């Protein structure tokens, strides 16, 4: 069972990440949409803009002029696409739960996840971010980094369907929302720092877990 060992190594190396980095649940949801295929650095700037404009609430966000909203989040990549997505999510919260996130998170988890997947702009990864970090459901968030790390370590096929990758992780770990949330955060960190498109294995906390680790003679030695 390499994954629980990997979790311990990452936690030891990096410490708790305390995700999701947000002041409120709505900010968390907005961040989860904005971060799609975008560097987090730019998402932070966009959220600051939305905060200043008073648009980190479902009602105001849903009612804002789309062009205006798009300009505010311009820094976060495909802004017109994401403006539309944010408003769909905000409208969903208003329509289905009267704008109350407490009401939304009190809904049955399986029902809520299915409903979220029906909202334009929310795919499986974004839905699971909201389910774990928002609703406190024991869901592992499968992102490109998780696929990359797992694929390179030979744990599974990186191109497997979302549900299959998620099942691989969840079946090997406790059904514990904080733990699964922490693992996702740690995997993002190791992904940003080491498991990049071109791997930077030197100094990686998971270096010694690579297939064939210790059998190579071309690795820089640290002692």
Partner DNA sequence: GTCCCGTTGC
Partner DNA sequence: GCAACCGGAC
Choose one: 48-56, 58-66, 196-204, 209-217; the region binding DNA (CB under 7 A). Answer: 196-204
Question: Cα dihedral sign for 155, 161, 171, 174?
Answer: positive
Contact 104, 141 (CB under 8 A): no
Site for DNA in 37-66 (CB under 7 A): 37-42
Q: Which residue, 7 or 145, has its beta carbon nearer to DNA?
A: 145
The answer to whether 209 contacts DNA (rule: CB under 7 A) is no
**How near is the Cβ of 97 to DNA at its closest, in Å?**
19
Q: What is the pattern of x (binds DNA, CB under 7 A) and - over residues 149-188?
A: -----------------------------------xx--x
Asked whether the beta carbons of 207 and 150 are under 8 A apart, the reply is no
Under rule CB under 7 A, residue 111 binds DNA: no
| Peptide bond just before 20 cis, omega within 30 deg | yes
Q: What is the DSSP string of 159-187?
A: TS-HHHHHHHHHTTS-S-HHHHHHHHHHH
Using the minimum distance from each CB to DNA, give the nearer residue, 67 or 176: 67
Cα–Cα distance for residue pair 138/178, rounded to 1 Å = 8
The residues binding DNA (CB under 7 A) are 19, 21, 35-42, 70, 74-75, 77-82, 119-127, 129, 141, 143-145, 184-185, 188, 191-192, 196-198
């Amino acid at each position: 069972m390499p994954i629980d060992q990997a979790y311990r190594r990452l936690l030891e190396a990096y410490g708790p990440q305390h995700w999701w980095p947000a002041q409120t649940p709505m900010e968390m949801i907005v961040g989860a949409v904005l971060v799609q295929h975008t560097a987090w650095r730019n998402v932070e700037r966009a959220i600051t803009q939305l905060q200043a404009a008073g648009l980190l609430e479902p009602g105001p966000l849903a009612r804002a002029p789309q062009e205006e909203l798009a300009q505010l989040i311009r820094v976060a990549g495909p802004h017109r696409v994401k403006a539309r997505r944010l408003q769909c999510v905000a409208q969903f919260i208003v329509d289905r739960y009267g704008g109350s996130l407490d009401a939304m998170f009190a809904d049955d988890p399986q029902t809520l996840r299915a409903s979220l997947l029906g909202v334009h702009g929310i795919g499986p990864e974004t839905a699971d971010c909201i389910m774990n970090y928002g609703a406190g459901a024991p869901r592992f968030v499968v992102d490109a980094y998780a696929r990359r790390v797992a694929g390179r370590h030979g744990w599974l096929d990186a191109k497997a369907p979302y549900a299959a990758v998620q099942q691989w992780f969840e079946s090997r770990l406790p059904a514990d929302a904080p733990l699964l949330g922490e693992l996702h955060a740690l995997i993002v960190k190791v992904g940003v720092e080491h498991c990049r498109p071109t791997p930077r294995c030197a100094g990686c906390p998971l270096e010694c877990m690579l297939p064939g680790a210790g059998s190579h003679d071309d690795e820089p030695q640290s002692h």
